[in-house]
């Protein structure tokens, strides 16, 4: 037995705690194992006799993603990747799922508790039968009744509780599975149901604040969903956009990032096998050929512009989120003034924090009342309010059981960008500039069938110093 092992076992036996063998191995191999163990035991909702790895706090300190600064290629601050998945740690083991959900619950419940009304929230296993109880839990079941009552089950790390809520005046509570909420109310006589008598408290967005600004008026351009390779890719308009970047088109020249940034928020190409029968809709049926044509086009972008390419659900990476950056096989064809990131990614562009997420989860959110594909801004607000980019686990958005939850919105960004829905929108919300630039693909047969009108050939320009914005429309 190693010295460290002895130390850990002594620490546990002093406190009369029974560890699983995996817990000991984990703590011994951890650079600050005893500190982690102590913190984890302190934060247990209820005292425990048996401890397993899932009781350990997800360790944010030992593996912080290190910001990666790209080489400076233009006369502007380099693109910095503040936060993204570096490599997949998903092993499919049950413990990884537990660790992922623990990370989600711990982080979000801490944010719910920042609301003054939730400061004294207790755990679900320690409720007071006679008084008002404040509780925080993860939604595990939702039943809506026709009389406006909603029965919800919530869980924390140790217990489960039924809640009864009212959807008064037709205002939807818009509850989602797996989101973390706080409520207060009184228990029924049997002690198995909490009658909620207050509004739902969602994770805190922080106070309204001014965005960080660049020191110089650099322009960042945001585009998404190019879908190169699709038969409905708007090639002429795209080429016009590239010419415009080169100063060759007389249209809003003041918004050309010279120097500046260009961010592609996913679905750079149309891919193959993204949906059944896609081949019939493609003009380029080989995905590597699609990237190769894209690289030729991107090579025409002046190198005073630093381009960032994030993948989406049509790109040649795993579908499960978080998605890793495009493979080296693709990247090698592109120039030096490009940064390939994971999805999602938190970027630092000249001091401005930009959160980019392709937006597959908007397919889940659209099922909520009053939300639709042509209003992506409303859906983005719902994501920000829940401080999570893909709140529902196991719906239309495939999520990888990574040990950490990379889809948490841990830091409130200055700019929040999504794509995927092919609708253009810009709005400010609580000091955050939200946007969805639209697409470079004309209406597809599927969209026509669904009666959906996309917004093709748009780019959204932002002055990173003043935060002035301009939607640029290349349909001319």
Binding residues for Fe ion, rule CB under 5 A, total 5
With CA atoms as reference, report the closest residue to 240 among 252, 229, 258, 232.
252
Output the six-digit token pair for 214: 């660049």
Least Å distance, CB 220 to Fe ion, is 21
Strand 415-417 relative to strand 432-436, pairing? parallel
Closer residue to Fe ion (CB): 41 or 317? 317
Place of tokens 């597809």: 444
- Is 397 an interacting residue with respect to Fe ion (CB under 5 A)? no
Let me know: does 41 contact 17? Beta carbons within 8 Å: yes
Q: Which is nearer to Fe ion, 134 or 323 (CB)?
A: 323
State the nearest-atom distance from the C-beta of 313 to Fe ion, in Å: 4
Helices and strands in the chain: count of H runs, count of E runs: 10, 20
Sheet of strand 260-265, all strands in order from the earlier edge strand to the far edge: 338-340, 305-310, 260-265, 219-223, 458-463, 469-473
Looking at beta carbons only, is 104 or 420 nearer to Fe ion? 420
CA dist 137 and 179 (Å) reads 8
Residue 225 touching Fe ion (CB under 5 A):
yes
Both structure tokens of 250: 């007389």
Tokens of 302: 């002046």
d(CA 206, CA 256): 33
CB of 341 to Fe ion, least distance (A): 16
Closer CB to Fe ion, residue 403 or residue 458? 458
CB of 228: closest distance to Fe ion in angstroms? 11
Q: What are the distances in angstroms from CA 154 to CA 101, 200, 366, 467?
A: 14, 13, 23, 40
Q: Which residue, 121 or 228, is less far from Fe ion as judged by CB?
A: 228
Using the minimum distance from each CB to Fe ion, give the nearer residue, 185 or 376.
376
Q: Considering only residues 234, 420, 425, 457, which one is a binding residue for Fe ion as defined by CB under 5 A?
A: 420
Min dist. Cβ of residue 455 to Fe ion (A): 12
C-beta of 297 vs 447, nearer to Fe ion:
447
Residues 340 and 347: their CA atoms lie apart, in Å, by: 11
Contact window for Fe ion (CB under 5 A) among 34-42, 53-61, 281-289, 307-315: 307-315
Q: Does 405 bind Fe ion (CB under 5 A)?
A: no
Q: How far is the CB of 227 from Fe ion (least distance, A)?
A: 6
321: contact with Fe ion by CB under 5 A: no
Q: Segment contacting Fe ion (CB under 5 A): 42-50, 218-226, 286-294, 400-408? A: 218-226
Q: Tell me: does residue 463 bind Fe ion (CB under 5 A).
A: no
Tell me which of 55, 267, 281, 315 binds Fe ion, using CB under 5 A.
267
Considering only residues 259, 271, 312, 401, which one is a binding residue for Fe ion as defined by CB under 5 A? 312
Tokens at residue 328, please? Answer: 């080296």
Part in contact with Fe ion (CB under 5 A); list of ranges 117-125, 137-145, 214-222, 416-424: 416-424
What string of H, E and C letters represents the secondary structure of 445-471? HHHHHCCCCCCECEEEEEECCCCCEEE
* Degrees, nearest 5: CA angle 213-216-220: 70
Q: How far is it, in rounded angstroms, from Cα 231 to Cα 442?
A: 9
The nearest distance, CB 420 to Fe ion, in angstroms, is 4
Taking the mean position of all CA atoms in its chain, how far away is CA 240? 32
CA gyration radius, the chain: 24
Which of 312/456 has CB closer to Fe ion?
Answer: 312
Cis preceding-peptide flag for 322 (omega within 30 of 0): yes
Residue 137 or 322: the one with the smaller Cβ distance to Fe ion is 322
* Minimum separation from the CB atom of position 311 to Fe ion (A): 10
Query: How far apart, in whole angstroms, are the C-alpha atoms of residue 261 and residue 302?
Result: 11
Rounded least distance, CB 315 to Fe ion, Å: 9
Does 313 help bind Fe ion (rule: CB under 5 A)?
A: yes
Q: How far is the CB of 321 from Fe ion (least distance, A)?
A: 11
Binding site for Fe ion (CB under 5 A): 225, 267, 312-313, 420
């Amino acid at each position: 037995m190693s010295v460290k092992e002895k130390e850990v076992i002594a620490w546990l036996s002093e406190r009369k705690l029974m560890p699983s063998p995996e817990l000991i191995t984990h703590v011994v191999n951890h650079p600050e194992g005893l500190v982690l163990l102590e913190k984890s035991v302190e934060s247990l909702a209820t005292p425990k006799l048996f401890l397993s790895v899932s009781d350990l706090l997800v360790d944010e300190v030992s593996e912080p993603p290190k910001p990666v600064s790209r080489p400076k290629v233009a006369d502007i601050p380099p693109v910095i990747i503040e936060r993204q998945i570096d490599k997949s740690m998903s092993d499919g083991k049950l413990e990884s799922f537990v660790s992922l959900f623990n990370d989600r619950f711990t982080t979000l419940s801490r944010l719910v508790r920042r609301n003054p009304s939730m400061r004294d929230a207790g755990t679900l296993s320690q409720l007071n039968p006679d008084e008002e109880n404040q509780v925080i839990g993860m939604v595990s079941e939702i039943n809506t009744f026709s009389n406006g009552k909603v029965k919800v089950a919530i869980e924390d790390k140790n217990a489960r509780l039924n809640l009864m809520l009212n959807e008064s005046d037709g205002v939807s509570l818009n509850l989602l599975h797996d989101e973390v909420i706080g409520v207060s109310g009184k228990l029924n006589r049997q002690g198995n149901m909490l009658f909620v008598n207050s509004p739902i408290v969602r994770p805190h967005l922080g106070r309204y604040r001014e965005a960080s600004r660049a020191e110089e008026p650099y322009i960042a351009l945001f585009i998404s969903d190019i879908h190169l390779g699709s038969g409905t890719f708007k090639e002429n308009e795209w080429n016009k956009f590239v010419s415009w970047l080169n100063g060759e088109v007389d249209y809003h020249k003041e918004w050309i990032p010279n120097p500046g940034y260009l961010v592609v928020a996913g679905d750079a190409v149309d891919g193959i096998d993204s949906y059944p029968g896609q081949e019939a809709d493609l003009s380029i049926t080989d995905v590597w050929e699609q990237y190769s044509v894209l690289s030729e086009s991107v090579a025409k972008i002046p190198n005073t512009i630093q381009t960032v390419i994030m993948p989406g659900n049509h790109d040649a990476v795993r579908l499960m989120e978080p998605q890793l950056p495009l493979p080296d096989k693709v990247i090698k064809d592109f120039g030096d003034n490009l940064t390939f990131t994971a999805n999602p990614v938190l970027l630092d562009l000249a001091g401005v924090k930009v959160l980019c997420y392709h937006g597959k989860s908007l397919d889940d959110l659209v099922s909520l009342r009053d939300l639709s594909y042509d209003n992506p801004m409303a859906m983005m607000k719902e994501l920000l309010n829940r401080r999570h980019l893909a709140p529902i686990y196991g719906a239309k958005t495939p999520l990888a059981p990574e040990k950490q939850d990379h889809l948490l919105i841990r830091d409130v960004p200055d700019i929040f960008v999504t794509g995927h829905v092919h609708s253009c929108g810009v709005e400010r919300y609580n000091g955050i500039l939200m946007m969805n630039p639209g697409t470079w693909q004309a209406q597809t047969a599927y969209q026509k069938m669904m009666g959906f009108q996309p917004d093709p050939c748009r780019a959204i320009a932002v002055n990173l110093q003043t935060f002035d914005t301009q939607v640029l429309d290349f349909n001319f």
